[in-house]
Amino acid sequence: MAIPIVDFGKFLNGSKAERQEAAFEIDAAFRNVGFVFLKNHSVAREKLIDCFKWSKRFFDLEEEVKMLAPHPPGGSHHRGYSGVGLEKVTQNVFSEEDLEALRQIPDVKESFESGNVDDEQQPNIWLPEDKLPGFRPFMESFFTDCRDLIHYILRSLALALDLESENQLSDTHAQSLFQLRLLHYPAVPVKFLADGKKSRISAHSDFGTLTLLFQDAIGGLEIEDPKQPGVFRKVEPIEDAVLVNIGDLMERWSNSRWRSTVHRVVAPPGENEMCPPRYSIPFFATADPDTMIEALPGCWSETNPKRFDSVTAWGYVQMRMAALYE
């Protein structure tokens, strides 16, 4: 169950036949695995390297400073900094007591979220500029790079489905109400993760339509084998390739043609006593709130009827939130 690697340059710069070929390869990957690696994508290598540097600079700040941009409590305003909740986690000395305290934390990670500067529902939450000069403009610019890549991928999917217009899916994401997340998994003892009771991020599927995932070279990401539920397979990071996956909303919209595959992050391979710190940068896309989510053309037929009721993208989020908090 390898994740297919597609040369996205064929779609971005190729002939009509090459564009089609890339689109079909992506479609097949999403049908079979729900994940694809794209090489020669549109996000510049230097920008990506810089983004990881900014992420490290941010997480290296004192906890008190990071807390000047706090993520609001609750699940409806996803912006700002969320800490690991236990300062001990950043120190490399762990007693049995510390390990037990660690187990109380849902996932040993810290994050910083930002979104579209025009998003009025979820305004961004930044540090005072003098605490980390340049961070905000960089993230705003990196957001637009990721946004553009999402729209290119949506065009390739429209081509694969032979929709009336190549922009049909991209147009339903016109507001680009997306979310850029910086993630830092601090060093933890392998012992803490090895018994399988805990992971760096526990098994989940993503919520929206598409996710981009940039990761460093450490490893530890695993995805559930579509043919063997409950069995997880390692995903080796590939330099200069972005991992792209389908989220739950897109699975529904495609009438389950494309899979929203469950994934998690565990200890990286190796014999060390400590898991080295890991950094990743997911970017979550979703459709505009008033978009009607109803089986896309090409995803249903008389023999493959529509499996889900139609719902707006906004209604879907409400439904999911209600299920979370019931």
Ligand X SMILES: O=C(O)CCC(=O)C(=O)O
Shortest distance (Å) from residue 181 CB to ligand X: 6
Looking at beta carbons only, is 206 or 251 nearer to Fe ion? 206
- Among 215, 255, 261, 286, contact with ligand X (rule: CB under 6 A): 215
- Among 125, 213, 266, 296, contact with ligand X (rule: CB under 6 A): 213
Strand partners, 70: 81
Residue 208 is classified by DSSP as: S
The answer to the question of residue 183 lying near ligand X (CB under 6 A) is yes
The answer to the question of residue 201 lying near ligand X (CB under 6 A) is yes
Token digits for 55? 């992420």
Looking at beta carbons only, is 186 or 282 nearer to ligand X? 282
Contact, 23 vs 157, CB < 8 A? yes
Classified as helix, coil or strand, 141 is helix
Strand partners, 215: 280
Contact, 172 vs 286, CB < 8 A? no
Q: By the criterion CB under 5 A, which residues form the site for Fe ion? A: 206
Q: For the chain, what is the largest distance between any 2 Cα atoms, rounded to a whole number of angstroms?
A: 62
The answer to the question of residue 3 lying near ligand X (CB under 6 A) is no
Q: Which stretch binds ligand X (CB under 6 A): 51-59, 62-70, 213-221, 250-258?
A: 213-221
The answer to the question of residue 206 lying near ligand X (CB under 6 A) is yes
- Among 34, 115, 186, 282, contact with ligand X (rule: CB under 6 A): 282
Helix, strand, coil percent content, the chain, rounded in steps of 5: 35, 20, 45
Q: What angle do CA 21, 24, 27 make, to 5 degrees?
A: 150
Q: Which does 245 bind (CB under 5 to 8 A by kind): ligand X, Fe ion, none?
A: none
Shortest distance (Å) from residue 213 CB to Fe ion: 7
The answer to the question of residue 221 lying near ligand X (CB under 6 A) is yes
Q: Which residue is nearest to ligand X (CB)?
A: 280
Shortest distance (Å) from residue 285 CB to ligand X: 12
Token digits for 287? 């459709």
Subset of 6-45 contacting ligand X (CB under 6 A) = none
Give CA–CA dist 17/242, Å, rounded: 23
Give CA–CA dist 174/312, Å, rounded: 15
Give the footprint of ligand X on this chain (CB under 6 A).
181, 183, 201, 206, 213, 215, 221, 263, 265, 280, 282
